[in-house]
């Protein structure tokens, strides 16, 4: 009896310590959010203000002077798309038609934006929306999950469209954010593509010196950025790739591809070989087997790998610092946000707002990916 009571007491003490720990871990994040919403007087108050009057002025500083009308259309599309994802699907046929209509509407809005503001970014965005529409078109699917995925895809693109509009409207911050998005998505696409192909080959075929090759691939990821960046800097200077999207995309692809190979190999190893054997017996070629059997089976793995690559590219600092110029064409958000420390009279409210907008997507993805975090940080070696 005494034993049980003691262990119950211990349980509650443990819970109390956990609560305190969570509070400590979250305080800096809370402070970022709070500072971004405070008035300048509250920010530099002699006693830090935990309760304060909320103001959005710092966020307004990040936005362009005039907000284009299309912003509201895209916002509505993103918002309704996200809300629709949380609704229970009772009638799959209706859900499918809704998603079809919604994505079609997004394409039309993008094309309209392209027509009114002839802009390279909107051209790319329109092409992307159409590709996403065709790739994960929910027409044939009978699964609620695929319908939801297509809605999420459309909402993400609508948010990207808002950033493009703001950047086009003259907001420096959203220009940098858009660079981060372009470089992040571009490098993730390439890294996951290359990584999945190589992972399949390493998983299914005999490769001469397989262990050594895999070790070599992983070791490239372990290189300190400052070591690689010196010759890359010289190389890019010679090739004119400094401060270009392509240069950073190639570089981020390189260090993400090794990660993608290792992570995807773990996922593909788990798919039973028997499926492929059956398909091969049925007369599929090896390539058809890969496309029609292996790829659909590894969708979850590909999504998890992609999110990790995206976060890594999004957060990357050292390469972006050296290879782009603050205020330049391809500069990403991290070097720009941090460039403020050199100057005197730092506007912490603006920095906090910029930081919060920058961190929010990562925080959301972390929650969505929580089941895969362990795999991600251990290169797929530890699974749960």
Partner 1 sequence: MRTARFSRGFSDYQIKMAFIMPTMILLILMNIFPLLWSLYLSFHRYKASMPNRPAKFIGPQNYARLLTDPEIWGYFQTTAYFVVLAVITQFIIGFGLALLLNREFRYKGLVTTLILLPMMLSPVVVGLFWRFIFASDASGLVNYLLSPLFGGPIGWTTDPKIAMLAVVIVDTWMWSPFMMLISLAGLSAIPKYLYEAADVDRASQWFKFRWITLPLVSPLLLIALLFRTMDAFKMFDIVYVLTREGGPGIATETVSMNLYKLAFRNYNTGKACAMAYILLIIIVALSNIYVKHLNKVRGEA
176 contacts 62 by C-beta, under 8 angstroms = no
If you ran DSSP here, which 8-state letter would residue 292 be given?
I
Closest CA to 72 of 33, 111, 113, 12: 113
Q: Nearest approach, Cβ of 185 to partner 1 (angstroms)? A: 17
64 contacts 172 by C-beta, under 8 angstroms = no
Site for partner 1 in 129-158 (CB under 8 A): none
Q: Which CB, 112 or 365, lies closer to partner 1?
A: 365
Binding mask 239-268 for partner 1 (x = CB under 8 A): -----------xx-xx--xx--x-------
Question: Applying CB under 8 A, which part among 64-72, 98-106, 297-305, 311-319 lies near partner 1?
Answer: 311-319
**Terminal CA-CA length for the chain:** 36
Q: Nearest approach, Cβ of 134 to partner 1 (angstroms)? A: 24
- Per CB under 8 A, does 122 bind partner 1? no
- Per CB under 8 A, does 21 bind partner 1? yes
244 vs 127, 170, 248, CA distance in Å?
21, 19, 7
Q: How far apart are CA 109 and CA 346, in angstroms?
A: 39
Place of tokens 């609620």: 144
Site for partner 1 in 161-180 (CB under 8 A): none
Q: Nearest approach, Cβ of 43 to partner 1 (angstroms)? A: 7
Query: Which of 66, 222, 296, 344 is the binder for partner 1 (CB under 8 A)?
Result: 222
Q: How far apart are CA 158 and CA 107, in angstroms?
A: 10
339 contacts 324 by C-beta, under 8 angstroms = no
- Per CB under 8 A, does 283 bind partner 1? yes
- Per CB under 8 A, does 93 bind partner 1? no
Q: Which CB, 72 or 215, lies closer to partner 1?
A: 215
Q: Which CB, 116 or 378, lies closer to partner 1?
A: 378
Q: How far apart are CA 61 and CA 107, in angstroms?
A: 30
Query: Which of 79, 115, 226, 239 is the binder for partner 1 (CB under 8 A)?
Result: 226
Query: Which of 230, 246, 291, 326 is the binder for partner 1 (CB under 8 A)?
Result: 230
Q: Which CB, 76 or 373, lies closer to partner 1?
A: 373
CA angle 75, 81, 83 (to 5 degrees): 100
Half-sphere exposure of 340 (CA within 13 A, CB side): 15
Site for partner 1 in 321-380 (CB under 8 A): 321-322, 333-334, 337-338, 340-341, 346, 348, 351-352, 355, 358-359, 362-363, 365-367, 370, 373-374, 377-379
Query: Which of 145, 286, 292, 329 is the binder for partner 1 (CB under 8 A)?
Result: 286
Give the rounded distance of the alpha carbon of 363 from its chain centre.
Answer: 10
CA angle 170, 176, 181 (to 5 degrees): 120
Q: Nearest approach, Cβ of 285 to partner 1 (angstroms)? A: 3
Question: Applying CB under 8 A, which part among 29-37, 125-133, 156-164, 169-177 lies near partner 1?
Answer: 29-37
Which residues, in sequence order, are CB contacts of 285 under 8 Å at separation 6+? none
- Per CB under 8 A, does 106 bind partner 1? no
């Amino acid at each position: 009896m005494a034993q049980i009571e003691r262990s119950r007491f211990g349980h509650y003490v443990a819970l109390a310590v956990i609560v305190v720990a969570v509070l400590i871990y979250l305080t800096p994040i809370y402070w970022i959010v709070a500072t971004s919403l405070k008035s300048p007087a509250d920010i530099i108050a002699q006693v830090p203000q935990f309760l304060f009057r909320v103001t959005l002025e710092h966020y307004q500083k990040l936005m362009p002077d005039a907000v284009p009308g299309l912003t509201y259309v895209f916002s509505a599309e993103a918002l309704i798309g996200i809300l629709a994802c949380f609704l229970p699907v009772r009638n799959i046929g209706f859900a499918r038609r809704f998603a079809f209509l919604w994505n079609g509407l997004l394409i039309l809005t993008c094309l309209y934006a392209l027509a009114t503001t002839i802009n390279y970014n909107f051209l790319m965005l329109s092409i992307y929306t159409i590709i996403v529409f065709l790739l994960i078109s929910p027409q044939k699917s009978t699964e609620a999950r695929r319908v939801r995925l297509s809605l999420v895809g459309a909402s993400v693109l609508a948010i990207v469209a808002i950033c493009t509009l703001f950047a086009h409207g003259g907001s420096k911050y959203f220009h940098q954010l858009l660079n981060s998005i372009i470089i992040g998505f571009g490098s993730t696409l390439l890294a996951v593509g290359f990584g999945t192909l190589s992972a399949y080959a390493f998983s299914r075929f005999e490769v001469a010196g397989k262990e050594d090759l895999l070790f070599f691939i992983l070791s490239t990821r372990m290189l300190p950025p400052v070591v690689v960046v010196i010759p890359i800097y010289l190389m890019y200077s010679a090739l004119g790739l400094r401060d270009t999207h392509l240069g950073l995309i190639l570089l981020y692809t390189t260090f993400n591809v090794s990660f993608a190979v290792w992570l995807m190999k773990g996922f593909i190893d788990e798919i039973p070989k028997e499926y492929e054997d059956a398909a091969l017996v049925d007369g599929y070629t090896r390539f058809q087997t890969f496309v029609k059997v292996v790829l659909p089976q590894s969708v979850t793995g590909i999504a998890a790998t992609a999110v990790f690559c995206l976060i890594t590219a999004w957060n990357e600092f050292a390469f972006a610092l050296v290879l782009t110029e603050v205020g330049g064409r391809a500069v990403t958000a991290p070097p720009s946000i941090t460039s403020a420390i050199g100057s005197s009279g730092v506007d912490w409210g603006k920095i906090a707002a910029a930081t919060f907008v920058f961190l929010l997507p990562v925080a959301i993805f972390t929650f969505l990916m929580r089941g895969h975090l362990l795999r991600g940080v251990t290169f797929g070696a530890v699974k749960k």
